[in-house]
């Protein structure tokens, strides 16, 4: 599984592991032609990488935001802590938080156990995370406990990121280490994961249910550990019993046989159609464990429709795994390699310049807006536009060439997951004679922000769009006037 010279996963041809390169090429082509934007994939068979690809500008060494795939890693920390005897799935949740409980503890709250947090069956009828996140004092457990537990725990599935955060708190309170420090010697270092980072709460607690960033190969290694029932290079990292419980259907979550989110839920893992299981995160971050076929599929994406991505897997990859091949390395193997190395996402389309370039070139004062942008400066040289934004707390400059990507940074983004100054790649284009656009691809995340500029007289209208959002994709419009 690992190459002899390093801690790298071994690479082989698909045929060496009993798969057809032609069949895998059809899978890659289906991903590439999909309406859903895919950023990467890696397929393991018998522990070896048989096919992998990144749609440029995404790359193998760039970490990607996992969203709720973080939950499966938090679950793994819980499993390791339980294996070590720190607590059990049957411990009352309130027992870990004596100083954060409400004055009156309801019967349902008293009945809530760790297993109910794991299975998203805490008894709440609304997700708790907004009540936790919006607390001014930063005490998220209090926000969790103050949300009424309407149902008997264990009786109703409700996807609840707040429950995953509580698991993170429990691990830290019982082990004395946050999720990152706890997992580093127990999971990350043995698997060779070096890129992991995890966002934290105002109190410095790893978010648990979201906020983890990893590379595609990190995801694949994690899936391979589960495929191997907790063994890695002959060392047991996680008990087989935990993996069996975590990946089994512990609670029903729907009745639609064609919906991969209705097949049952385990301990922060989803059951899939075809008797398989996965961890996943918003916009198509996937770790699909296909134990029946000794295979793992890792993917990162900016997908609008995650079910469509799953359908591509079942319609194209699953038959390749089921049918296998007795072929040797062939011309199709070279075609697959060529296709996967040539994957790319094009910069913003349009024209390099416009007859109106001189009219738009200039400085503008912005009307009041929630992004804290005081003004814009647009300057053009050849096929490159340079945007300077005067913010409430400083200046941000983006250089956006036509037909190619330019590295930069910015911090004006309005999603709660996009805190601080983030790296980006920018490109610009004239999409009409009087309309200029700059696309900012936040390449460590699924997010793309596009700023559309239109000048009428001395009034510049700036429409800011984003490709995905867990809150709202409604465009934000700012009006600015020439200075």
What is the CATH number for 36?
3.40.710.10
- Alpha carbons 83 and 63: distance in angstroms, whole number: 29
Domain assignment present for 370: yes
Give per-residue pLDDT as tens, 23-48: 999 999 999 999 999 999 999 999 99
Q: Band of the pLDDT at 3, cuts 50, 70, 90?
A: very low
Domain assignment present for 219: yes
Domain assignment present for 352: no
Give per-residue pLDDT as tens, 389-424: 999 889 999 999 999 999 999 999 999 899 899 999
Domain assignment present for 319: yes
441 and 335 share a domain? no
Residue 4 has pLDDT above 80, yes or no: no
Residue 90 has pLDDT above 50, yes or no: yes
Write the CATH number for 422. 2.40.128.20
- Alpha carbons 401 and 438: distance in angstroms, whole number: 9
393 and 298 share a domain? no
Domain assignment present for 417: yes
Give per-residue pLDDT as tens, 416-445: 899 899 999 999 999 999 999 999 999 999
322 and 368 share a domain? no
362 and 445 share a domain? yes
Residue 413's pLDDT is 94
335 and 408 share a domain? no
Residue 221: closest CA among 346, 358, 72: 72
Residue 1's pLDDT is 59
Q: Please report the sign of the dihedral spanned by the C-alpha atoms of residue 25, residue 30, residue 33, residue 39.
A: negative
Give per-residue pLDDT as tens, 318-335: 999 999 888 887 788 999
Residue 331's pLDDT is 87
Give per-residue pLDDT as tens, 135-178: 999 999 999 999 999 999 999 999 999 999 999 999 999 999 99
Residue 8's pLDDT is 78
Omega within 30 of 0 (cis) for the link into 57? yes
Question: Residues 402-409: contacts with CB within 8 Å, 24+ apart?
Answer: 402/347, 402/348, 402/350, 402/351, 402/352, 402/353, 402/427, 402/428, 402/429, 403/347, 403/352, 403/427, 403/429, 404/347, 405/57, 405/347, 405/441, 408/440
280 and 380 share a domain? no
- Alpha carbons 353 and 463: distance in angstroms, whole number: 20
Overall average pLDDT of the 351-376 stretch? 96
Which of residues 341, 374, 405 is at a domain's end?
A: 341
328 and 222 share a domain? yes
Domain assignment present for 109: no
366 and 477 share a domain? yes
Over pLDDT 90: what percentage of the chain?
94
Residue pointed to by tokens 């310049």? 353
Which of residues 317, 341, 365 is at a domain's end?
A: 341
324 and 367 share a domain? no
272 and 233 share a domain? yes
Domain assignment present for 309: yes
Residue 2's pLDDT is 53
- Alpha carbons 451 and 463: distance in angstroms, whole number: 6
Residue 5's pLDDT is 38
Domain assignment present for 197: no
Give per-residue pLDDT as tens, 196-227: 999 999 999 999 999 999 999 999 999 999 99
Q: Which domain holds residue 407?
A: 357-482
Q: Please report the sign of the dihedral spanned by the C-alpha atoms of residue 457, residue 459, residue 460, residue 465.
A: negative
Which of residues 315, 341, 367 is at a domain's end?
A: 341
Overall average pLDDT of the 56-72 stretch? 97
Residue 132's pLDDT is 96
Overall average pLDDT of the 87-107 stretch? 97
Residue 75 φ then ψ, to 5°: -60, -40
362 and 464 share a domain? yes
280 and 383 share a domain? no
Total domains, the chain: 2
Overall average pLDDT of the 64-78 stretch? 98
């Amino acid at each position: 599984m690992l190459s002899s010279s390093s801690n790298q996963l071994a690479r082989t041809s698909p045929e060496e592991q009993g798969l057809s390169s032609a069949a895998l090429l059809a899978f890659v082509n289906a991903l590439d032609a999909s309406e859903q934007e895919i950023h990467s994939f890696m397929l393991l068979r018998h522990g070896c990488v048989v096919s992998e690809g990144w749609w440029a500008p995404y790359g193998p060494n760039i970490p990607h935001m996992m969203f709720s795939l973080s939950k499966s890693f938090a679950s793994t920390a819980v499993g390791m802590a339980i294996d070590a005897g720190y607590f059990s799935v049957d411990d009352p949740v309130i027992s870990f938080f004596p100083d954060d409980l409400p004055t009156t503890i309801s019967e349902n709250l008293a009945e809530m156990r760790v297993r109910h947090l794991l299975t998203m069956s805490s008894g709440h009828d609304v997700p708790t995370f907004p009540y936790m996140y919006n607390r001014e004092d930063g005490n998220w457990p209090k926000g969790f406990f103050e949300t009424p537990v309407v149902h008997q725990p264990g009786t109703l599935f409700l996807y609840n990121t707040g429950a995953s955060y509580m698991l993170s708190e429990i691990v830290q309170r019982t082990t004395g280490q946050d999720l990152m420090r706890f997992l580093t010697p127990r999971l990350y270092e043995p698997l060779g994961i070096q890129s992991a980072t995890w966002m934290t709460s105002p109190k410095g607690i790893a978010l648990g249910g979201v906020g983890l960033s990893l590379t595609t190969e990190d995801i694949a290694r994690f899936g391979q550990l589960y495929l191997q029932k907790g063994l890695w290079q002959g060392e047991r990292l996680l008990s087989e019993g935990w993996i069996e419980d975590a990946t089994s259907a512990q609670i029903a979550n729907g009745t639609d046989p064609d919906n991969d989110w209705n097949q049952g839920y385990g301990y922060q893992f989803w059951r899939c159609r075809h008797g398989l299981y996965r961890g996943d995160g918003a916009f198509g971050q996937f770790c699909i464990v296909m134990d029946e076929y000794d295979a793992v599929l890792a993917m990162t994406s900016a997908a609008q429709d995650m079910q469509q991505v799953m359908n591509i897997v079942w319609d194209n990859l699953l038959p390749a795994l089921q049918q296998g091949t007795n072929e040797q390395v062939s011309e199709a193997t070279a075609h697959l390699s060529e296709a996967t190395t040539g994957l790319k996402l094009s910069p913003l389309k349009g024209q390099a310049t416009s007859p109106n370039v001189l009219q738009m070139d200039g400085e503008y004062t912005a009307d009041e807006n929630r992004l804290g942008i005081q003004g814009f400066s647009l300057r053009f040289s050849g096929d490159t536009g340079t945007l300077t934004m005067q913010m409430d707390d400083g200046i941000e400059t983006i250089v956006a060439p036509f037909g190619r990507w330019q590295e930069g940074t910015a911090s004006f983004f309005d999603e709660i997951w996009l805190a601080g100054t983030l790296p980006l790649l920018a490109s610009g284009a004239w999409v009409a004679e009087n309309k200029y656009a700059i696309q900012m691809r936040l390449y460590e995340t699924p997010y793309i922000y596009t700023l559309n500029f239109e000048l009428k007289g001395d009034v510049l209208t700036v429409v800011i769009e984003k490709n995905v959002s867990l809150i709202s994709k409604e465009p934000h419009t700012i009006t600015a006037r020439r200075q």
